[in-house]
Every structure is written in structure tokens, then in C-alpha cells.
Amino acid sequence: MRACLSLGLSCLILLATGCPSPTDTAVEPEPGPLMAGFSQARIPAPVGIGTAGYGPASADSESPYSEIYPATTTIHGHPSAKVTVISRGPGFEQIYISWAAVGVFQQLRIALVHELEDRLGRPMDDVVIWGATHTHAGPGRVVDAGGPFDLIADKFFPEFYERLMDTLADQVEAAYADLQPARIGYTFASAPDAHNDRRCEDGGEDYKNSTIPIIAVERDGQIDGLVLAFAIHGTVLDADALTLSGDVAGGIEQAVADGFDHPVQVSMFDSWGADMSPGSPDITAAEGAELPDGYDRHEQVGMEVAQQVHAVLGDIVFDAEPTLRSQTYRVHIDREYIGYDDDTFEYDYGGVYCGLSGDADCDASTIEETLDHICVPFNEDYPAPNQTLFTVGQLGDLYFTTFTGEPGTELAEKIMAGMTAHDEVSDTMFLGYTQDYLGYSILEDDWWQGGYEASGALWGPRQGEYLSNLAIDAFDHFMGGAAFPPQPDPVQPFIVSDYDPVQVPAALDPGAVIQDVEPSYRATDVVSFIVAGDDPWVGAPTAYLETASGEPVLRPGGIPADSDSYLFWVQLAVDPSWEDDASERSFAWEFSMPVAHHYPISDLALGGDYRLRVQIPRADGSVDEAVSGVFSVL
């Protein structure tokens, strides 16, 4: 009878014929046909919001959408979120989410997991794999932890946070709505010229692992999506650029996508990027316009990675019935769990920036014995996180692990070696900056050499060793090995209290042309078109390149050439300025399009007559349009 009570009303109905036991009624789910779906959207960040990762800067730039960080003024490659769903039905599915941001915090992830569980009606904690490209030109203001965390990501902006989480959940649902029969395969590329070892302290002169695992998704006989991972600290643009951008990862994604003859969604995860700066590949520059600092480098790196990726895609063997499984493991972290003695890293709530002001020492034999005593402490009110998580899994014959925050190359290699110690595992994918963010993690011997990367570990010299051991333990358990240590309960999402919604001022003359294009341009020129739009909270207008007769100009992969790509940059000027109170303002949006690029990742080879069409979202939900005059490319 006790078993009947546990089974509920259905058991009572069957009581007359005998109550079935749970083992009698339990039906193990079986995997179904392989399906895959894709979706992507802008991150709904207004121009003017503060970014995350640089720290507050001295630039004199304010807006209603920033607090302690300077306000952004420019877009170059609009930051986006991309979703890839690979599924053989509930219980056999994985959701890969890559977004252009400095990191993923576990409170954001668990909020998304809860929202998806409400919408889809099943557990999602083992399914969601959410990683960041680590651009410092992505929006901040989504971390409600206060104190030192404001220095990482600017102060919490609850309405933007809610918009972001709704956007992400909507895109996951859209990817499920896009599910179609599929096959998956994987391969590996290598792009050593696309990144450099920036950490001399690790004792290796330009030591790097340049492997690029690539998951390819085929639908209807063609590749429709790629998920790839590459080790590259995702920031080229400086803090004073005041720019929202997908940065170097966005350049890679665009270049790889444009190597196809049809639209393909390319999603990049960062991997062991802590000690890997973007490279400067030796690519011959073409005749083109002068671009703002950093833009050429986005395209150089993108071209190099795209060339290496496309060189190996023909090696892929596709599978229509891959094994799909994954599991999330949570772990404690603090001084006690790490096992520090009383004289080592004496910060009960964590500490950071240990010896940051000291000179880096590139002699690997040098030990900074006092390094763990000169940290900036967290305190009881604002402690460092005391738990984190990994998700490990299998996709066909490819096995993967996620890792919190920014791991170094040698630490990642240690974990992958632990994975391949299993006889059945030969191919691995390492997804850093994924599921959570605990700063930098490097091996202990490396930590004592000091330098920026060592200073960024929240739990001192043994953080990297401790987490790497647990990552291996999680994978061992996943593969049927020893029991895993007791896990903490998941953190709770940030609690959004009541707030005053943003009230945008009236926009003056939206749709008006403020400055039209010139009649003609050469390859070294930049086309400029300025239109009046609405407040950036409504969303940035989008410019599309068209022929003079109104036909859309397409990038090589068949994607429209628009201002969300690296073909443009977009700047906003506000009058009166944000510092002045005003019930109405002019929002002048300037679209700058180089006629030709030195490193053309999206080679349009323009020649002839063109125009720009700008779509302007309005606060009331309508869309205005502005069309430029016709201009000739000589």
C-alpha cells in the first residue's frame, strides 16, 4: 500500500487488480531519430551600456544604460547569441549556446535552466551547455553580486537582465521549432598562426595547443551548422574603443560562415584561452580602407581560422545515430575544500589580484614566495563563489567537458589526458568559459610565477589544480568509474525585485536622412550614411547593402550584407547629450561601410551602383525605413 501511495491516483484506480510496482511500470526512454535545429539573435544590449571585463575606465562617456563603466557609443559586429540543439528526443539531447560576452555566471545559467524547464516540461540541467567567447566588448550589468563584481561587469541592470534571459529562452525554443532530420560528425583543425602564447611565466616559449575541435551538423545533405572551440583570449578592442562587438570570435564565425556557398550557423566556444592572445597571421593585405584599431586583426584571425577549418571539413564522417548523453556535476570550492594549510592563501572569502602590481617574471625557476599574501581580499558580505560546476558528455565518439572561467593551456591538457586515459576515449572537446566563471585557473607551479593570469584566480595558487582534478573525477564518474563527492545544491538565480522600467524620450524625426552618401567611392573610401532613429533601448537600426534597383547584396554564404556584420561599424550621437535632462532627443545613427577591406573575410568585390536601406525599430513596435541615394563604386 505504501508503494501505491507513492504512485498516486493511477495506482489507486488499478488497486482492484493489484498495485504495480515502480519497476513494473517504469519504461526506459529510447533514443529516436536524430534531429537538429538552429537559432540566433542579437543580445538585446543598448548602445550606451557598459561592457564587462575591462574594469572601469577613465573615458568621459555616460548614458542611462551604464553606471560605473563608460558608456559604449559604437557597434562593430553586433554581439549575438547562437543556439544549436542536437536531439534524439527527451533524455537524449544537448543544447549548445554560445554568446558574445566575457563569461557565463552560474546564476544566469540556472535561471535559464529553470525557464526552459517551465517552457519545455522536462529537466534541463544536464542539457544546457552555455559558453562565452570572452569578448570584453560584450555587455555587462547582468551579475547581481555587488562589491568586487561591479568592477568586473558594472552594476546590475534588472530590466536588461530580464530581457536577456527572455531572449535566450526564446532562441532555444526557436531552435527546437527548427528541428529537422540530421546527421552529425566531427573533425579537428589546427590554427597555430591565429594565436600566441602571451604568458612567458609558464616556462614555455610560445607554448600552445592550436587544436580546433569542430562539430558539424548536416541536414538535407548539406552542412547547416558548425560548433567549434578554439583557444584565444577573445579581446582585441581596447577599453577606450567604447564598442559593443563580437570581437575576434565574431570575426572567426563570420569568416568560417562565408566559406560556404549557403547560409551556415557557426558558433564558437573559447577553450583554454587564459594564456592565448589573438595572433597576427601573415596574410598579404589587399587594397582597402583604413579601419579603426583592431578591426583588421579581427579579419586576419578570422581568415586564418576559416582556412584551416574548411581544409578539414571533407574529412568528416557523418552519423545518423550517435550516442547523446551528458551530465552536470557541482563541486564545492573554498580554502577548506582546496586544503590550504594555515600559512597559505589566508583569505577565508577568496582573494584576487595577487601581486598584480608586480613585474612579471619569465624565469620559470623563480618562485614568488609571498605572492599568496598580497591579494585583494573578498569579504563576508561579498565573498567569492563557493561552488561551481562542470558538464561532461558524449556526442557520438566525441567526448567533452566544460570548464569554469579561463583555463590555461597546460591545465586543459591535463584534463584531456585524464579523459583519454579511458580506453574508449580518443577524441575530446574542451569548452572553457562555459557554465560558470571563477576567473583564471592555471597549474600551481605556474601560479607561483606571478603575472596577470595568476592574479585572476579567485581561490589562489591551487584553484587550477583542485578544479582540474575534480573535472577528471567528474568525467571518470560519467564513464562508470568511482563515486563522485557529495555535491552542493544548485545556486539560486538572481532575484529581480521591483524596478522602474526604462522610459525612453521621444525621438526627433525618426527616419529622416541627416547625411546622405556621396555620389561615388573608391576601394580605399568609407561610405557614410547618417539617419535619425530611436533611443538605443529600442534596438539599433540595421543597414542593408542593396543594388541600385533594390536587390539585396549577399555575403559569399548567401547571408545579407548588413550592419550587424563586420562589413560596417555603427556609431550613435545623441543631442542633447545624455548628461542633460530632455524629454525628446535626436538619435543620429551613422553607418560606416568600407568599400574594400585589407583582409576581406566577406569578399563582396563591389563594383557598380548601390544604395543603403536602413530599418529603424520604434518604441511602439513599428519599423521606419530610410533609403540612401545611389552611389557608385569605381
pLDDT band at 78 (very low <50, low <70, confident <90, very high): very high
Per-residue confidence (pLDDT) for residue 148, from 0 to 100: 82
Cα separation, 586 vs 509, whole angstroms:
7
Mean pLDDT of 341-355: 94
User: Would the pLDDT of 361 be above 80?
Assistant: no
Per-residue confidence (pLDDT) for residue 20, from 0 to 100: 43
Cα separation, 47 vs 504, whole angstroms:
13
Beta bridge partners of 393: 326, 400
Per-residue confidence (pLDDT) for residue 205, from 0 to 100: 66
Distant-in-sequence, close-in-space partners of 336: CB < 8 Å, separation ≥ 6:
none
Cα separation, 112 vs 435, whole angstroms:
11
Cα separation, 325 vs 321, whole angstroms:
12
The SS3 assignment for 193 reads helix
Q: Which residue has the cell 584565444?
A: 232
Nearest to 109 by CA among 445, 433, 493, 416: 493
Cα separation, 551 vs 613, whole angstroms:
11
Q: What is the per-residue pLDDT across 184-193, written as a single tens digit (0 to 9) for each?
A: 999 999 999 9
User: Would the pLDDT of 71 be above 90?
Assistant: yes
Cα separation, 391 vs 544, whole angstroms:
40
DSSP class of 516: P
CATH class assigned to 506-633: mainly beta
Per-residue confidence (pLDDT) for residue 529, from 0 to 100: 99
CB 118 within 8 Å of CB 223: no
Per-residue confidence (pLDDT) for residue 39, from 0 to 100: 98
Distant-in-sequence, close-in-space partners of 451: CB < 8 Å, separation ≥ 6:
199, 201, 360, 361
Read off φ and ψ for residue 504, nearest 5 degrees. Answer: -85, 145
Calculate the alpha carbon distances from 184 to 13, 181, 271, 294 in Å: 45, 10, 21, 35
Q: Where in the chain is the domain with CATH 2.60.40.2300?
A: 506-633
Is-above-0.75 flag for pTM? yes
Cα separation, 38 vs 514, whole angstroms:
38
**Percentage of the residues of the chain whose pLDDT score is greater than 70:** 93
Which three cell numbers, joined as nine digits, stand for 315?
574529412
Q: What is the per-residue pLDDT across 117-161, written as a single tens digit (0 to 9) for each?
A: 999 999 999 999 999 999 999 999 999 998 888 888 899 999 999
Read off φ and ψ for residue 256, nearest 5 degrees. Answer: -65, -45
DSSP β-ladder status, 74-76 and 569-575: antiparallel
Pure H helices in 423-528: 444-447, 452-455, 463-478
